[in-house]
Amino acid sequence: MVPRGENGISSMEIIDREACMGSGNCLHWAPGVFGLDDDGVAIVSGDLLGNEENVRLAAKNCPTRAIRIEEFYG
């Protein structure tokens, strides 16, 4: 089952699981929004809507550009 964040947004819609290298940077930039699953791949575990600025920073600083938020935030 694909984990979903508090807004019901599937992690698959935001995280490119093939691109994610599990660095954990996104957990630093957007604390409480991202987590790592048992495979060490980033998941959305918190609220994307209330943390837009931090999520944008996380996407910008992801070393593999694995966070795709353009379609979510516009």
Contact 18, 5 (CB under 8 A): no
Task: State which residue, 24 or 50, has the beta carbon closest to ligand SF4.
Answer: 24
Extended strands (E) in the chain: 34-36, 42-44
Nearer to ligand SF4, 32 or 63 (CB): 63
Angle, CA 7 vertex, CA 72 and CA 32 arms, to 5°: 95
Instruction: Give which of 18, 19, 56, 72 is closest to 34, Cα–Cα.
Output: 56
Map the footprint of ligand SF4 across residues 10-69, applying CB under 6 A.
15, 20-26, 34, 42, 62-64, 66-67
Least distance (Å) between residue 26 CB and ligand SF4: 3
The residue among 26 and 48 lying less far from ligand SF4, judged by its C-beta, is: 26
Query: Which parts of this chain interact with ligand SF4 (CB under 6 A)?
Result: 15, 20-26, 34, 42, 62-64, 66-67
